[in-house]
Amino acid sequence: MTHKVKLSNLGYPRIGKNREWKQALEAFWSRSISEESFRAEMASIQLGHLRTQQEAGIELIPVNDFTFYDHMLDTAVMFGIIPDRYDYTGGAVDLDLYFAMARGNESATACEMTKWFNTNYHYIVPEIGEQQPQLTENKPLAAYRFAKSQAGIEGKPVIVGLYTFLKLSKGFPSSKLAEIADRFLPVYIQLLKELEEEGVEWVQVDEPAIVTGLTSGDIVLLKHLYQSIADAVPGLKIMLQTYFEAAEPLHELLQLPVAGLGLDFVHDGGGNLESISLLGWPKDKWLGAGIIDGRNIWRSDLDAKLQLIEKLTAFVGLDQLILQPSSSLLHVPVTVQGEDKLKGVVKQALAFANEKLAELSLIGAAIVNDQVESVATALQASRDALAAFRALPERGLQDVAEQVRGLKDLPDRRTVPFAERVHIQQQKWQLPLLPTTTIGSFPQTPEVRQARLKWRKGVWKQDRYDLFIREQIEAAIAFQEKLGLDVLVHGEFERTDMVEFFGEKLGGYLFTRNGWVQSYGSRCVKPPVIYADVAFIEPMTVKESVYAQSLTKLPVKGMLTGPVTILNWSFVRDDLSREEVANQIALALRQEVQVLENAGIEMIQVDEPAIREGLPLKTRDHQNYLDWAVKAFRISTNHVKDTTQIHTHMCYAEFNDMIDSISAMDADVISIETSRSHGELIASFEEQAYDKGIGLGVYDIHSPRIPTVEEMTSNINRALLALKPEQFWINPDCGLKTRGWEETEGALRNMVEAAAIAREKKKAVRI
């Protein structure tokens, strides 16, 4: 059937139905397969993705969305943007250098990694400096040729727009953005000219940075960039693609000389439709209408989508309309097929990448003729599935609703302010100057993973598995004592993932078998799914924490994941506000904190690594989010005794603009990643005071290299220029579960030695 509207996709999950992509990457890194075999396996995976989209009826199939690691890294490498610390003299970039930028090597640290807007995907941050860009390889052209020759697909090359690429890069002052853009513009035009000469029709230019807010200078720059591109490649149809929020000011964006504008109609808060209703839509532009949620896993309300399209077509002709997901499907799992452990009502309510493409196809068919029996039957089946799911009783528990309503009666903060608590806690704990600790997890070896798998499959009974975990905890405590750490952790050997572990023990969660998504590099996570009201059932961490504390006289931290991180790293029900779901989680964690404290665990770390990534993209929405996010954290922790020390941890995001909110969380100690960003966060503390305990991670755990004592000493000394030694803790920048024991021991030994050197140098009197 021929559709009157085109169907498009913005990007497909890279990892493969069974994580074949991850397996190939890790096999290559371990040198168990050759580069030739690696490239062949990656080509096979890529071809499968293309054919899946082709079979789903997608007409504008993205190419160049596939990558060996990250699309921002690909763009940097394609333009020869290689930091000076690497051995690079120009020309094509080999795989060893490519992966060294992502992971580091023996002679050079990895590039910074941070969150992709407000998602849980991490990108490699390009370092521009004074480098002159060159086109080392036209990767979009190679991807287009591959799709055409191997699958007969006239693909739609996807590239990161120049504006977004530079906005997300580092190594130059923001005042020089326009100057740097002009340096890159000829290379971008060269890339696009080669696509035009090849006969490419559509190019998707991703500019999500647009939705974060445009200054008048940004608008001038965008007009300059896209007018230059239009003049140079008049034969290309440029789809300027935005996502994750409303594109503003739309009247200015509609003046850009591009063939189409892609807008998100799911996560825009209604802003894009409102703007179109006010402005209308130009007759000479296509609208890429992002109507299917590219970031969550729920079946669409197809009637609502058809109503949205009806509203749009009051302003946009069907022959100007392209239907597509709201963003790349990178952020969702591949397919619901194989999820045979879920009850039918819940499974029928899910839609992963392949199912979302099927929804697009059904909507397209419904627009042509919704009276066709097959279409009408499919639409009714979708309605029935949603109705059955929405009627589940666990989605409206009365006791949970009453607890949420009772929040107004709970205390808002700790009974004693930090300035007084710090003296009480120091008297209790008697910690040395510059105390050392880790973030929580220790290596998850194959032995640990195999033991967990045997337990889950029933090969090991609970007693056998518990014994194994106790043995791992015993070894971890002895290991830490031998190294000379001051505050210990139990190692988290019983945990698969810092969110999944808690979701398995809370009411309101469900778990998929293959719901994997890429977080960074080959690191894939399987987010738990909040489908109903979240409720505390029984203690979740007490057994392991109490056992670890029984093995040592040193303090052992209880380890929890905070409410906002559990929220942001889960797929969340879409019928309640995120604030309300966060409060449900916070109330459940509040009970866990209480049982830990009652059991004698009086250092408790409630990690919030994802609090920053949930920050709305519009500045005007920041404070409201931060207010309820901070409140959720305090709900979890503000009821403890004055002597109980609350820690938290954050990593891999920009925190400079939320120091006040971090302080308002009222944690006694916070640890924040700073090593991979080369100490840039420290500058924030040089400019604004922070009055609580803080650990700025002194080395990067995501790189396999072991940092030297001198490197860590340098990081410590830099931090101590901005922070009082009495408030400074020394720790890695994140958990150690992905590292091996040998490199963990080497790095921590050097960290302890660096701490000893710093203590000897300072010899300060503690508060």
Active site residues: 702
For residue 14, give both structure tokens: 């890279």
What are the binding residues for L-homocysteine?
439-441, 492, 607
Give helix 139-151 / helix 177-198 axis angle, nearest 10°.
30
- Does a cis peptide bond (omega within 30 degrees of 0) precede residue 62? no
CA dist 110 and 86 (Å) reads: 10
For residue 562, give both structure tokens: 């905070």
The SS3 assignment for 647 reads: strand
Residue 719, C-beta contacts closer than 8 angstroms, at least 6 positions apart: 674, 679, 682, 685, 696, 698, 728
Pairing label, strands 156-160, 202-206 = parallel
Residue 738, C-beta contacts closer than 8 angstroms, at least 6 positions apart: 443, 444, 523, 701, 702
Counting beta carbons within 10 angstroms of the beta carbon of residue 766, is it exposed (0 to 12), middle (13 to 18) or buried (19 or more)? middle
Per-residue burial over 483-494, b = 16 or more CB atoms within 10 Å of its CB, e = otherwise: bebbbbbbbbbb
User: What distance separates the 2 farthest-apart alpha carbons in the chain?
Assistant: 82
Counting beta carbons within 10 angstroms of the beta carbon of residue 722, is it exposed (0 to 12), middle (13 to 18) or buried (19 or more)? buried
The SS3 assignment for 664 reads: helix
What are the binding residues for 5-methyltetrahydropteroyltri-L-glutamate?
19-22, 115, 120, 523-524, 569, 613
For residue 436, give both structure tokens: 């050392």
Closest CA to 635 of 576, 594, 695, 575: 594
Name the strand (E) or helix (H) holding 291: strand 286-292
- On whether the CB atoms of residues 448 and 472 are closer than 8 A, the answer is yes
What are the binding residues?
19-22, 115, 120, 439-441, 492, 523-524, 569, 607, 613, 649, 651, 673, 734
The SS3 assignment for 745 reads: helix
Strands (DSSP E) along 361-505, which ranges? Answer: none
CA dist 445 and 71 (Å) reads: 30
CA dist 510 → 451, 458, 482, 706 (Å)? 23, 20, 40, 38
269-275 contacts: CB < 8 A, separation 24 or more?
A: 269/245, 271/245, 271/246, 272/246, 272/247, 273/308, 273/311, 273/312, 275/246, 275/247, 275/248, 275/250, 275/251
Beta bridge partners of 114: 123
What are the binding residues for Zn(2+)?
649, 651, 673, 734
DSSP for 122-133 reads EEEPPB-TTPPP
CA dist 138 and 188 (Å) reads: 10
CA dist 620 and 618 (Å) reads: 5
CA dist 36 and 544 (Å) reads: 46
CA dist 595 and 558 (Å) reads: 11
Phi and psi dihedrals of 8, rounded to 5? -135, 155
For residue 167, give both structure tokens: 């906005």
Percentages (nearest 5) of helix, strand, coil residues in the chain: 45, 15, 40
Per-residue burial over 425-461, b = 16 or more CB atoms within 10 Å of its CB, e = otherwise: beebbebebbbbbbbbbbbbeeebeebbeebeeeebe
